[in-house]
Structure 1
Amino acid sequence: MKSKPFLKMMLFFIVIIIVASLPSVFPEEPLFLEASKEDHSMTLAENKTLEEKINSLLENEQLDGAVVGVTVKQAANGDLLYSHNGDIRLHPASNMKLLTGAAALETLGSDYQFQTEILSDGELNGNTLHGNLFIKGKGDPTLLKSDLNQFARELKAQGIETIDGDLVGDDTWYDDVRLSQDLNWSDEPFHTGAQVSALTLSPNEDYDAGTVIVDVMPSESTEGKAQVRVSPETDYVTIVNQTQLVQAGGAQDISIEREHGTNRIIVEGTMPVNGTLSRSWVSVWEPTGYVLAVFRDALAEQGIQFTDESRNMSGATPEQAQVVASKKSIPLSELLIPFMKLSNNGLGEALTKEMGKVMRGAGTWDKGLEVIEDVVTEIGVERESFLLRDGSGMSHKTLISANNITHILYNIQSENWFDVFEYSLPVAGETERLIGGTLRNRLTKEPAKGNVKAKTGLITGVSTLSGYVTSLDGEKLIFSILLNNHLGSSESIQEIENEIVMVLAGHEFLE
């Protein structure tokens, strides 16, 4: 009789032989295992923390050598959700306009209006005004050629046909410092660096005060040059046309730039005969004189003439002068739209000087910045933690942290003017120019499109984006992204900002 161990061993070998002889009905690796791996990897990706998602984006090699500050907070309670170099002071570029806009709403009020006055120190005898005619600017950056035309019509209706006196521009509402302290000379000929005067003129309703629009287009010129047009039409600037018409299909390469210290605008380059419009907003040298030149033309169009001895000059209006016409600007609530959505630098500097004038009695950058600093401090930001140098963000010396910006954006939510402030921010992916603004061609896909409301910023080596976004599960977030000292293209750096914001818009906060 065989032993039990022997029988067990024989049974084991028989089972192995039977199994080996069966056909292979299973794949080497079960199908359900592949599916489970895929599902598992998707779950891991979806369940990554907010910190992990943003940190992975900040590993982009285009940020090598750059300094990045990113902060994310809950809008409901201000709780900090994410911070990378959040306390590091960085250049905000046009994110500075967030501070200027908030300070203007807090101190001037959403209904605030600028004013321009026409006055005279003379008397009307018959159809002749014997005395000087003054146009007194009080900082209005929205003054247009059409407003000057209206002033001229009002004077005509009062019976004035001749003025025996000077046309005087009064810009004493502000000081005579025309450019902010850190503005680069390379920006000064263009609308981004236009001079600031209490008496100034805008060429259209973008309100780029102190500029003219220069259009260059094909022509049938026998001299072989492109056609150049200036708006508003004025001889205050001199066009030096050095363009060359070339055959259809040729290169269109037009340069438009004003010589520093003059009003000579040099237009050069090639324009094909089938070319398209080239347009530039060019700043003028000394905006007060610009207003006087255009106003004198407007008066002439109404048949109002000056005597031969009359001059255009600057000066203060005497106290005894009488107001003969006046105009108020649109309210601040409306002015904030081109300021914030189109990132209008000139409006930022005008608002800064206006706050200085109204709140400190002096229309200077120093006094205006003091007002902004006071408002930011009252919001709860330590004065020693930031440095402000202008109202637009053009300065490469202004410093503030991402944490401070989000702190400001959180605290102003309780202000009665917050709805006006938030409405003025560019809206991602909205193609209407005065809605989408500088974000109209960015973040054009869901869930960011129409959801992100934020201020852009861009100067050499600096790109920024700060504002509000609602996450996929309805959590409103406040964020600030400050990218400094980068050497990449602005488009590639902005794409990193876009990716961070897309993470916020698409994130779900799991309980």
Structure 2
Amino acid sequence: MRLSVYCLIGLLLVALSSLAHAELPAPVLRALQAEGLGADALSVYVQRVDQPAPLLAHQADIALNPASTMKLVTTYAGLELLGPAYRWRTEIYHDGVLKQGVLTGNLILKGYGDPSMRVEDLWRMLSRLRQQGVQRIDGDLLLDSSYFASTNAGPAAFDGEPYRAYNATPAALVMDLKATGIQLQADAVTQQVLLRAEPDPNSPGMTALTLTNQLKLVRSACGDWKTRLAYDVNVRSDASNARAVELVLRGDYALDCGEKWLDLSFFDEASHGYFLFRQLWQQLGGSFGGKLRVGLMPERAVKLLVNESVTLAEVVRDINKFSNNLMARQLLLTLAAEQIATPGTEANGARAVLLWLRSKGLEFPELVIENGAGLSRVERISSQHLASLLLAAYASPVMPELMSSLPILAVDGTLRKRQKDSAAYGRAHLKTGSLSNVRSIAGYVLDAKGRRWVVVCISNHAKAQQTRGAQDVLIDWLYSQP
């Protein structure tokens, strides 16, 4: 009987505690009401890192789409499971005979998922190859991406925009994030819009990219310039087995815009790598006339050299500061391959994260990980559990790497232009997330008295984009805690 009474008292205290922390702060509620929204538009969890209970828990146990704040889960898992000093490898082999500078056989590039590989890295690798005496390749270029499995969803699956760089799909051998930057330059003298690709995939004797310019230069304010553009991508396979592209740009471009960049991903990873290889190899004085091949490296292949990436800590910084989707997806697949099995799959990446959470005593039954980047309609986590993750991270040896990877309020990354006049300027490390009907922010705030707080705020609402002001007010309110 006495035990039952104690249990009832305990339950009552828990219930009262929940009620005490359930109401949104008045300034936050007023900011919502100014947008015609109610308290139900937000899920919020706030807790000081050195306290056992939250200051605020409002609708905090609801499973919600976190958008890009899901990257916090992926990057924290990566830092703990792989270590901040982890590096990815990219290897070059041959399967023939190398004699007097002539390779009779195929040159092979094998990737292990490096998310950070740039055209400069490929140039250095090929330069080392030339220094080893290789001048002519009498064979094909074989690209081996077998370390990762192909993803189930194509680049158009998320929002029907298959050529936007944020939709680029992961692969074990990716260069320059599979992206091509298109420079648009308004020329007042010629009254034209000048176009240029960077990196330029074209090389003597091979046109990988054709830019067809149907843009009209107009005199108006620049504004949201991308909405005034349209483009078509025409794809053809050439004699090399690679996929060449014609990009047709149409619409109006304002003189006031000056120079702008449009990042697109219209090459598959194999074609992209092949075109860049041909261009760089010719620049280095090498000779190559072979085709593109995609497949497994033969067992008899001879290793020529290995390139190592920047550290995982540096990659995590790019993922979180700039919300890089492809890098986050590459990291999840790396976790799958390193922790579960090869080839790495998204399902095994999610499994690796769940097993890691369980090993830390963190049970998140509502957690759904599709690709680890938040570029998803199905990923789910509650604000309470995302906060629990951040609290655990604060006590982790990798806390410095994770926190320093987050955008600093009003200073850098995706928060560079946000809350410039806030008293919390420079005192919050926060990851943002934004999708259609989703707006989120999560991370750490250092208040005016030097106390550190974890804050998570998620909106899944038809007017989610209109909750940004309330989220800003929440950060200011937290900074000013008595």
Q: TM-score, normalised by structure 1?
A: 0.81
Partner secondary structure for residue 115 of structure 2: coil
**1-structure distance, mates of 2:304, 2:449:** 59
2:181 is aligned, of 213, 225, 233, to 213
Change (3 A) 1:58 1:275: closer
Deviation of the 1:62 alpha carbon: 3.6
1:474 is aligned, of 446, 450, 457, to 450
* Cα-Cα RMSD: 2.5
2:296 is aligned, of 306, 309, 316, to 316
Partner secondary structure for residue 365 of structure 2: helix
Change (3 A) 1:172 1:454: same
Matching of residues 28-107 of structure 1 within 5 Å: 51-64=25-38, 67-107=41-81
Change (3 A) 1:251 1:280: closer
2:209 matched residue in structure 1: 237
1:142 matched residue in structure 2: 116
1:413 matched residue in structure 2: 394
Counterpart contact for 1:257–1:282, Cα < 8 Å:
no
- Residue 459, structure 1, aligned to residue 439, structure 2: no
Deviation of the 1:77 alpha carbon: 2.5
Deviation of the 1:300 alpha carbon: 1.1
**1-structure distance, mates of 2:59, 2:429:** 23
2:84 is aligned, of 96, 110, 113, to 110
- Residue 171, structure 1, aligned to residue 148, structure 2: no
**2-structure distance, mates of 1:376, 1:67:** 29
Deviation of the 1:111 alpha carbon: 0.5
Change (3 A) 1:287 1:220: farther
- Residue 356, structure 1, aligned to residue 336, structure 2: yes
**1-structure distance, mates of 2:431, 2:188:** 44
2:478 matched residue in structure 1: 504
Q: Deviations over 1:31-64 (max 9, x none)?
A: xxxxxxxxxxxxxxxxxx9844544445444435
Deviation of the 1:265 alpha carbon: 2.7
Deviation of the 1:220 alpha carbon: 8.0
Q: Deviations over 1:454-508 (max 9, x none)?
A: 11000111110111112333332111100111326x3x42121000110000121
Change (3 A) 1:74 1:181: farther
Rg larger in structure: 1
Q: One-letter code of the match for 1:466?
A: A
Counterpart contact for 1:139–1:350, Cα < 8 Å:
yes
Partner secondary structure for residue 218 of structure 1: strand
Counterpart contact for 2:115–2:315, Cα < 8 Å:
no
Q: Deviations over 1:422-465 (max 9, x none)?
A: 111111111xxxxx211111122343111111110001111101
Q: One-letter code of the match for 1:467?
A: G
1:291 matched residue in structure 2: 273
User: How many residue pairs are counted as aligned between the two chains?
Assistant: 443
Deviation of the 1:257 alpha carbon: 4.4
Provide the identity percentage. Answer: 25
The range that moved more, 173-182 or 95-104, is 173-182
Change (3 A) 1:182 1:264: closer
1:395 matched residue in structure 2: 376
Change (3 A) 1:390 1:274: closer
2:6 matched residue in structure 1: none
- Residue 341, structure 1, aligned to residue 321, structure 2: yes
Q: One-letter code of the match for 1:142?
A: S
Q: Deviations over 1:304-353 (max 9, x none)?
A: 1124xx21111111122122122111001111111101111111100010
Partner secondary structure for residue 389 of structure 1: coil
- Residue 444, structure 1, aligned to residue 430, structure 2: no
Q: One-letter code of the match for 1:399?
A: R
Q: One-letter code of the match for 1:228?
A: L
Counterpart contact for 1:216–1:279, Cα < 8 Å:
yes
1:121 matched residue in structure 2: 95
Deviation of the 1:381 alpha carbon: 3.4
Change (3 A) 1:474 1:249: closer
Counterpart contact for 1:118–1:136, Cα < 8 Å:
yes
Change (3 A) 1:285 1:185: farther
Q: Deviations over 1:59-118 (max 9, x none)?
A: 444435963200111210331111110111111000100100111011111001111111
